[in-house]
Structure 1
């Protein structure tokens, strides 16, 4: 069995879809940071950011200029970003498909866990060995939707599949079958909860809280602004958004006492929302410095707004892909992350 705690990617990479978002790594990759950055400040209106501004913001986050330009180029080739050129200046924004994926993914990432009805969603799939890329895409999609592998081709989730999540699985067609019911255990065999490494997940919660709690007093005091505010807000989203994918609202009554899901979510919200205004101000300033005209549509959303569901508008003449996918339904993204 593959532990869901060993996730190599949250966003699909090799899926047979029009958009392939960057695979997750142990740290924050330039492509992952770029997606989180754009989702955090442009998702609502799919605002275009000057490419030079994106490079500048990524450079402030520790990415080299060459690495930033490469990340933008690769994301454009993968269908995550679409470019626009006016004169000598170029700009980029999220494609409708990427924005739709991130909007719903972000919503699920920050949504509080719903009450559990005691039933599990069980998804079985069978794909030929010759369809390795499609198989990887499905597995990545299922992880992003909060499923974990109980066995290789049998995945489970405590949450029911919403309509948008079903839409995300539609491309895989007859290769999957979904059931929902109660576990008949305890014997024989494995419990659905065994699909998650809860001990490792508890340590991840502890690490998140230990790393970010010391930052909170500075956030409350207004001592973080400019590049530091953008960097911290991007990093906290990029780090936190992995937790709800690993813990997709696992039933509290089945978990050890003192489970840190809610304390971690509260801490994330305080930092993410507390830095929103200062981070947005800096992103606007950097965008303006690299553009001949005003850059409309830049806006930092709050956790509550993200949970309520941000629209992902299509460009003129385009039809946005139905938002679907992440988390318990997700978003993230990261946004997210990602983010």
Structure 2
């Protein structure tokens, strides 16, 4: 089944794990329950995700300490591990508290400087990838910045680079301007394109018209949005264009999330087989 048109997949660029995480964040987090794999398979069949893909994704999530299996007779249930709960709560915070528009920037920057020898080229690549994921942008060789105070210990964890990294907070002083730092370290147009793509998909009278119900729309919506805000470095609004598309995109997300919440919960209630833990 294709949702949203013949050439449009259920969730562009979204892996089954991202969709399953959205599902668990909405329908399992803080509920004290585990959900049967059979009912998860039934939910994701509505999105066009195969049983094989769901089972293999759940198995990987168990191996990665994201899910715990429980067996009751012939049925298998999966529940969240403490690690998964922490990840999902971070996602919930980014969606509902941090938001897409940074209107409260205090003028400070977190600065990460590093220099790694060529013998650790792979570690250098991993560090850069983690910094991008954490909202940092490259200002110049070996010097990365992010607006506001950012926690960096988690970024560095397991890389064994503490002796090669310096972390500071700083402010821009003339002749350097904050707007120049934003323009140099971040691809503003690429970020804007992502939000415009979200609006093209969701700022419609009836998004995903081929979806069977609002549970499917809810899962795709939340997955799309969380991917967006996780990739957004949360740049200060005062240094972004006045027509910054994240403003409208956040309004659309919140309106759609509220619209789908009750009907999606009703559909889920008829599908989910839950085990109280």
Normalising by structure 2, we get a TM-score of: 0.80
User: What are the residue-to-residue correspondences of 1:114-263 with 2, within 5 Å?
Assistant: 114-126=103-115, 138-151=127-140, 153-161=142-150, 165=151, 168-169=154-155, 171-172=157-158, 174=162, 175-184=164-173, 186=175, 191-193=180-182, 194-215=184-205, 228-263=213-248
* Distance (whole Å) between structure 2 residues aligned to residue 58 and residue 186 of structure 1: 54
CA separation in 2, counterparts of 1:98 and 1:136? 25
Unaligned ranges ≥5, structure 2: 1-10
1:91 counterpart = 2:81: no
For residues 34 and 119 of structure 2, what CA distance do their matches in structure 1 show?
A: 39
Please say which structure displays the higher CA radius of gyration: 2
Cα RMSD (Å) of the superposition? Answer: 3.1
More strand by share: 2
SS of the aligned residue for 1:237 comes to helix
Runs of 4+ in 1 over 6 A off after TM superposition: none
CA distance in 2, matches of 1:156, 1:251: 13
Q: Deviations over 1:125-162 (max 9, x none)?
A: 4456666675565444433432223345432111212x
2: CA distance between counterparts of 1:74 and 1:205? 30
TM-superposed CA distance for 1:59, in Å, is 1.2
Comparing both chains, which one has the higher relative contact order based on Cα–Cα distances under 8 Å and sequence gaps of 6 or more?
A: 1
Partner of 2:6: none
Indicate the residue corresponding to 1:60 in structure 2: 46
Partner of 1:105: 91
Of the candidates 248, 257, 264, which is equivalent to residue 272 of structure 1?
257
* Cα contact 1:205–1:260 (8 A) shared by 2: yes
TM superposition score normalised by structure 1 = 0.67
1:33 corresponds in structure 2 to 19
Instruction: Structure 1: state its 5+ residue gaps.
Output: 1-24, 289-293, 297-314, 316-339
The DSSP-based 3-state class of the residue aligned with 1:150 is strand
- The answer to whether the Cα contact below 8 Å between 2:137 and 2:146 also exists between their aligned partners in 1 is yes
